[in-house]
A and B are shown apart, each in its own frame.
Chain A
């Protein structure tokens, strides 16, 4: 279980997070929604320790993440980055097997390559892709490779940062389906940040809306449409009129 209590983060004069409280239960899929620039990525990166919160506590299974042994802590996570964040200098299979060739999870090269190809197959990519470099792939394929990398070491917690941004609707649907299948199959805890409502409906067990630096609404995805929160309703229906200012 991941618990965030009173998390604050400020960048210069810009207070991005102003006391975020959120709980993500083990084995569930939480999707955090919110407009661009509301701090969704900062929230996600704060949990991983890529951004240090100014105030507040982030705990994983009751333990403050700042006190956790870094390598063991990170070994529990997999992450799909918005742009894929694949390493340009490495081949596709080396990207996927990155964690399997270094550190405590290191295994022989052939075995790591086999696992990488198996994960590529799992995300719908042919083994021939394995020996290409990321620059030779389309955006959708790069996302899939990123997804394969995120699940390669079979982590217990997987984060997805804007998994469908920049993809066409069909590819978005494919990625959403893959994420759902993988999370269910692996029994993983998932946290996704997105502003794509079709992703929310496809992936989420629970939804949290981040607005004004705090969690504005949180609840099961099934209750989202019936919720009375005007911020949430404006956001999920994509209306320009409402409490959320369209010009920021």
Chain B
């Protein structure tokens, strides 16, 4: 019996190990997140680092967010028009573009773009600082690396990404508008009226909430992987890769949870 069970047990163990490792990593990230939240509320505060993080996370992400949103909005208008034709519902393009962008695509795409641009750069920067002993130097200079590096970045992510999502939503809707009015023959005034009339405050608020959560996740994970990177160039590369993958997955998982909570009923 034991001989029969041995390969099954081994297979289950092989499956279980990565699951346990992932859960352990998630637990460590959660603790790291809780520690960050505690530090956000306690001085000292590093205004200059916060301003620099605002610039990097927010302002410098605008081009990539804008371009992503405008093309997605345009593509969405084409898809809805083509799909809608199958049951004579082409007229719903403005409404579906608006709700699709604001509720779902805007926050998710901005979140993923932030994961690609900001999470990776944060992870690589902090990992390089670790490899070159700059984190140790911070400690010897009586500066807590979590306060100096993590808190400003996470706070900037939490505050900037909702704004980016809002801007992305507007640009995405404008992308749909340009395609619909320029290519599909929609009347510009009625397109805008339909969009504005259809959207509800709850849609916009949910979009901004998602943005804040995704911003928190993206920046936190970048910092976490940077602080826990391995040695040398390989360590920096591993931290960056792991940070982007984890942030992307966690953003998508958080999106599902938030959508269930906000619109599930």
Binding site for B on A (CB under 8 A): 45, 48-50, 70-71, 74-75, 77-79, 81-83, 85-89, 98-99, 102-104, 149
Which B residues touch A99, using CB under 8 A?
A: 141-142
In the complex, the answer to whether A48 meets B139 with C-beta atoms within 8 Å is yes
Give the top 10 A-B pairs by smallest Cβ distance, nearest first.
Answer: A85-B137, A85-B133, A79-B140, A74-B142, A81-B133, A99-B141, A85-B134, A50-B136, A103-B142, A71-B142
B44 in the interface (beta carbon within 8 A): yes
Q: Is there a chain A Cβ closer than 8 Å to B132's Cβ?
A: yes
Q: Tell whether B143 is near chain A: CB-to-CB under 8 Å.
A: yes
CA distance A219 to B137 in the complex (A): 30
What are 27 pairs between A and B in contact, CB < 8 Å? A48-B139, A50-B139, A70-B142, A71-B142, A74-B139, A74-B142, A75-B142, A78-B140, A79-B137, A79-B140, A81-B133, A81-B136, A81-B137, A83-B132, A85-B134, A85-B136, A85-B137, A86-B134, A87-B129, A87-B134, A88-B134, A102-B44, A102-B141, A102-B142, A102-B143, A103-B143, A149-B141
Bound-state CA distance A218–B52 (Å) is: 49
Q: Which A residues lie within 8 Å of B44 (CB)?
A: 102-103
Q: In the complex, what distance in Å separates the CA atom of A103 from the CA atom of B142? A: 8
User: Which of B44, B52, B136, B140 has the most chain A CB atoms inside 10 A of its CB?
Assistant: B140
Residues of A within 8 A of B137 (CB): 79, 81, 85-87
On whether the beta carbons of A45 and B136 are closer than 8 Å, the reply is yes
Q: Is the CB of A74 within 8 A of B140?
A: yes
CB neighbors of A among B140-192 (8 A): 140-143
Q: Which residues of B contact A75 (CB under 8 A)?
A: 142
Query: Which residue of the partner chain B has the closest CB to A90?
Result: B48
Q: How large is the interface on B (under 10, 10 to 19, 20 to 34, 35 or more residues)?
A: 10 to 19
> Please, which residues of chain A bring their CB within 8 A of the CB of B133?
81-83, 85
For residue A88, which residues in chain B have a CB less than 8 angstroms away from its CB? 134
Please, which residues of chain A bring their CB within 8 A of the CB of B132? 83, 85
**Apart from A74-B139, A74-B140, 13 more pairs, CB < 8 Å:** A48-B140, A70-B142, A74-B142, A78-B140, A81-B137, A83-B132, A85-B134, A87-B129, A87-B134, A87-B137, A88-B134, A102-B141, A102-B142
Closest Cβ–Cβ distance, residue B40 to chain A (whole Å):
18
Give the complex CA separation of A74 and B139 in angstroms: 8
Question: What is the 8 Å Cβ interface bit string for chain B, positions 89-119, against chain A (1 contact, 0 not)?
Answer: 0000000000000000000000000000000
A135–B223 CA distance with the chains assembled, in angstroms: 23
In the complex, what residue of chain B is closest to A105 when comparing beta carbons? B142
- Chain A residues positioned under 8 Å from B143 (CB to CB): 98, 102-103
Among B132, B133, B137, residue most surrounded by chain A Cβ atoms (within 10 Å)? B137
- Known: A102-B44, A103-B44. Contact between A77 and B140, CB under 8 A? yes
Minimum distance in angstroms from B60 CB to a CB of chain A: 14
* Closest B residue, CB atoms, query A49: B139
Distance of A16 Cα from B139 Cα, bound (Å): 23
Residues of B within 8 A of A81 (CB): 133, 136-137
When C-beta atoms are compared, the residue in chain A nearest to B148 turns out to be A102
Residue numbers in A under 8 Å from B142 (CB-CB): 70-71, 74-75, 99, 102-104
> In the complex, which residue of chain A has the Cβ closest to the Cβ of B131?
A83
Query: Could you tell me the distance between the alpha carbons of A86 and B129 in the complex, rounded to whole angstroms?
Result: 9
Residue in A79, A81, A85, A86 with the greatest tally of chain B CB atoms within 10 Å: A85
In the bound complex, how far is the Cα of B133 from the Cα of A77, in angstroms? 16
- C-alpha spacing A98/B142, complex, angstroms: 10
Most chain A beta-carbon contacts within 10 A, residue among B52, B134, B139, B142: B142
CB-defined contacts of A71 to chain B, threshold 8 Å: 142
